[in-house]
Structure 1
Amino acid sequence: MTSTTLPTAPTRSYKLSFFGTLRSEFLKFRTLATNWVMLLLTIAIMIGMSAAYATALNRFYQRALETQAALEAGGPSPQVRPEYSFTVDQVLDMARSIGGVGMMFGSMLIASIAVVFIGAEYATRQIHSTMTAVPRRSSIYISKLLVLSVWSFLVGVISAVAGYFVAQPVLDPGISEQLSVGTPTVLNWLGVGLYCLLMSWMGLGFGAILRNNAGGIVMVVVLMFISTIVFGLLAETADWVADFQPYLPINLGETMTTVGLPEDTDINNLEAGIWLGVWALVPALLGWFRFTFTDAKG
């Protein structure tokens, strides 16, 4: 009696490619309703603050014209608080960057979304399923980083552009008639997008390090806002505090996106962008290290 051996089907090994991982993370991000709500809220805040700031610029412009006319006539300039004393050219430069006025608050929301994007997976234990489907943890983390980078950059640029054009009807005709969409304005829009991108890196890093939504968001708030307030209050107590203050993330973001930065400033636009990149890259790298080389339960 002879036995018949049935052929066995060849075993196949299915591995999710990096682009497959990237696509899955994009779909995961896109299907979260919270992200769309936060997106609309971010754009609304930035547009609203640009329109509100336009009214302040109108007052600054009128004061600048009065001061200029008084100086040309040889009389005393109007009494104005130093922090609200601007020249006409300075007001015009501020108007060119009006689209990014609300980026500090908008980027706060973006950083919070980045924290939740990874922290929520730990909270719901979904991270175990993700790591089972994609054993290469670096691919997961880099995919999340890329998704957040593209999304946050586009949100920042779109919000800045929308804020700029919404503010135009509110501005004094003497200001708006002298404005045009030139290189300084476009660079400001791109700078706002870059700032939002870097803040999303910071948020993702803190979310991966702490693996907790509340903890990651608190870290972002402390670093972006609380530290700025504390250093501002202590600026007069020590020289090193005053010297370090311009290197805080919010101050660096303002410097990076400022149009018409004085030539004698300590930090120029490019240097501010580089230092801000360091602030964002450190937590992002630490988050990658913990995500990749430590247990998901730790």
Structure 2
Amino acid sequence: MTTPVSTAALAVTLARVLRSEWHKLWTVRSTWLSLALTVLLTVGIGLAIGATYESGGGDDDLDTVLLVLLGMQFTQLVIGTLGILSTAGEHATGQIRSTMTAVPRRLPVLWSKAAVLAGVTFVIVLATNFITFLLAQTFLTDTDQAASLGDPGIARALAANAAGLALLGVIALGIGSLVRSVPTAIGILIGVVLILPEVLTTLPYDIVDDAVRHFPAKALEALTHAEPTPGTASPAAALLALTLWTAATLALSALLLKRRDV
């Protein structure tokens, strides 16, 4: 006699969708490669800078945390690509049809992908940032960039950078969901999110400068300062800006996800 399966056992819950997206993220080779590359670039560049830094060499006015974490100029692209692959990559392989068949309401899939990516990225980058800072400081001890975790703003900047990179990854995830094409999404990430702010800063208008400070890449840079720096947004304003960019991208992605065919 066949034992009947209860409706509750078959129900699609947010916890089950989260578990599915967690499993899916970790079973894709690109996840391991991207996270490993993020760690290697952050630590490697941080150590290289620390080992070659000399006081009075022209970088003495650079914020200590920003100096040590300059590898983020590359890791933000790596993490962004990982976010794009988590959404646009599924469309490229056709796996998205199975996903949406299993979760007909669709939106829990988007929220779960964003939550899993943000959580994994934040934890990995946070640990890497603290390790990189401590290792780099073994070379910077006798320089004008010497600092410790107990100094004002240091720990906060290391954690804020991790949060900023996690949010940037989710923005990229949203872009991937919007355009459904990995090459196009990467092009938008590089051109609009990373390069456009640098181009706009060349315009001789104060209002443009004020706006650019709150663009994702510039907000991330502001979060990576241990001390307030003229010409950048405050840490609170930068974090709020990144959060709003993320929310807007996900909201638009959710709207189109509900309206378009898979």
TM-score normalised by length of structure 1: 0.78
Worse-matched range after superposition: 94-103 or 30-39: 94-103
Identity of aligned residues (%): 24
Q: Which amino acid aligns with 1:20?
A: R
Confirm or deny that 1:105 pairs with 2:74. yes
Confirm or deny that 1:286 pairs with 2:252. yes
Identify which of 242, 250, 259 aligns with 2:226: 259
Structure exhibiting the larger radius of gyration computed from Cα positions: 1
Q: CA deviation at 1:16?
A: 2.5
Q: What's the counterpart of residue 18 of structure 1?
A: 14
Q: CA deviation at 1:175?
A: 4.7
Q: Which amino acid aligns with 2:162?
A: G
Whether the 8 Å contact between 1:256 and 1:273 is mirrored in structure 2 is yes
CA distance in 1, matches of 2:3, 2:222: 64
Q: Which amino acid aligns with 1:244?
A: A
Confirm or deny that 1:244 pairs with 2:211. yes
- Equivalent runs, 1:1-298 vs 2, <5 Å: 12-13=6-7, 14-55=10-51, 58-59=53-54, 61-62=55-56, 84=58, 86=60, 94-175=63-144, 179-182=147-150, 184-232=153-201, 234-236=202-204, 238-262=205-229, 267-296=233-262
CA offset digits 1:180-212 (Å, max 9, x no partner): 212522111211111111111111110110011
Q: CA deviation at 1:11?
A: 6.8
CA distance change for structure 1 residues 180 and 242 in 2, over 3 Å: closer, same or farther?
Answer: closer
Q: Which amino acid aligns with 2:196?
A: S
Q: Which amino acid aligns with 1:270?
A: A
Considering only aligned residues, what root-mean-square deviation do their CA atoms show, in Å?
A: 2.4
Q: Which amino acid aligns with 2:211?
A: F
Q: CA deviation at 1:144?
A: 0.7
Alignment gaps of 5+ in structure 2: none
Q: How many residues align?
A: 259
Whether the 8 Å contact between 1:98 and 1:164 is mirrored in structure 2 is no
Worse-matched range after superposition: 9-18 or 163-172: 9-18
Whether the 8 Å contact between 1:107 and 1:196 is mirrored in structure 2 is yes
